[in-house]
Chains A and B, each alone.
Chain A
């Protein structure tokens, strides 16, 4: 659209139509872009419902430690995870490995769809906290964990493992924390049961840091172990 070019014969019909078409296309683009942006404002990453933090009446009872045993609930042998599914969110994703970045923070998957397993913590189903992180959004796509904040206590999370076994977890708590007050001990610290933590982003997006201000964290414990 070289409007200032004197070589273009003024008033030539194709030029006029091209400009008209360009104006039309740009207007439609503008309306659509702004429209989508406005419409999607209601589609912010879900914030955990305060009521979800309270144990539901039908929440499964906490397994009781057997005499002479210092751990509680079912336990599986070590095996890396291959897939995670959250039926109530209709979410399911392949799992990639996550380590630590040079700055000491956890790596993140480089796709919206994949969920990462933090390899420097226990495997899902085995004793201790297994940690899975997924994007709320990434490079223009909604991530697998977009609706994570909608999960409620008692909901199921299924993790398939490399050994062919399946670990079925039950959500015990869904919380949102500012990243500068991340509950490190609660997420990565010792547990006496096979635990699972799902992490994604939430809260306001900070245009300056280009990051969300909060993390949404789902805490779950192993309810059923299905060995291969």
Chain B
């Protein structure tokens, strides 16, 4: 009785254990960073969800304002809202540039600030001293793993609903962010930071998810068979048959011997 109860409980336990802790799959999401304000900037990013729930971010972009910091964020939300990267039609004030504020309704609020060190919340959105700098040729390279505990709830589950935005353009091509080009950043002002040029906060690239891959890749092929049926190891089966035949022959011989001894 106790035995059969245990047996009955087994499938239920197996079902429960089928996906232990699998709230999400490990996966690597590919993001294509596209030029937003005709600065010629572009790039690629990979967001990898690790089995521990951390987020590994890797960004490579080029055509960025050289020797300058570029504020960069994951935008969007984990509530299933359908955000997109804006196109030129988002330039509501018609100054020829899509600003951060003009883009926000399309790509959503700052979800994670992709700083090089320290805090990664929205509060660090304009912490340019902790944002990556493009090199003298305008190439920007960024890598950071953000621990699970620092990620907003639902980040990993909604990785594919999020967008990446890199800010900082050089509209008047004088090699720096300055007030002369596009004036002061009203976006920075709106969050209480004065004296920041609009060039520093206007988006350069916006990235949308273009693909996804396995989060970790198994080595080699898959051992999905042991040859235990027909297609497998006939040798073993022939051996068994042969042994049985030998046994039969032995039995016949033994019987003859008995008959002879009689």
Contact = CB atoms under 8 A, between A and B. Distances in A.
B254 interface: yes
A179 B221 contact: yes
B217 interface: yes
A129 B24 CA distance: 14
Interface string A19-63: 110111111011101101101110111000000000000000000
B209 A127 contact: yes
Interface in A67-101: 68-71, 75, 77-78, 80, 95-97, 100
- Among B28, B208, B238, find the residue whose CB has the most chain A CB atoms closer than 10 A: B28
A173 interface: no
A78 B217 contact: no
A78 B228 contact: no
Contacts of B29: 127-128
B230 A108 contact: no
Contact of A26 (B20, B211, B245): B245
B227 A97 contact: no
Contacts, number: 259
Interface in B21-37: 22, 24-30, 32
A164 interface: no
B223 A70 contact: no
Interface in B233-262: 233-235, 237-238, 240-242, 244-245, 247-252, 254-255, 257-259, 261-262
B157 interface: yes
A211 B19 contact: no
Interface residues of A, number: 90
Interface size class of B (residues with CB under 8 A): 35 or more
Contacts of B223: 105, 108, 201, 211
B193 interface: no
Contact of A121 (B26, B254, B259): B26
Contacts of A146: 229
Contact of B240 (A33, A105, A118): A33
19 contacts: A10-B261, A23-B249, A34-B241, A36-B237, A41-B234, A95-B18, A97-B22, A105-B219, A106-B218, A118-B218, A133-B222, A135-B225, A135-B226, A140-B228, A141-B228, A180-B220, A192-B211, A201-B225, A211-B225
Interface of A: 1, 3, 10-11, 15-16, 19-20, 22-27, 29-31, 33-34, 36-37, 39-41, 43-45, 68-71, 75, 77-78, 80, 95-97, 100, 103-106, 108, 118-123, 126-131, 133-143, 145-146, 162, 177, 179-180, 182, 184, 188-192, 199-201, 205, 207, 210-212, 214-215
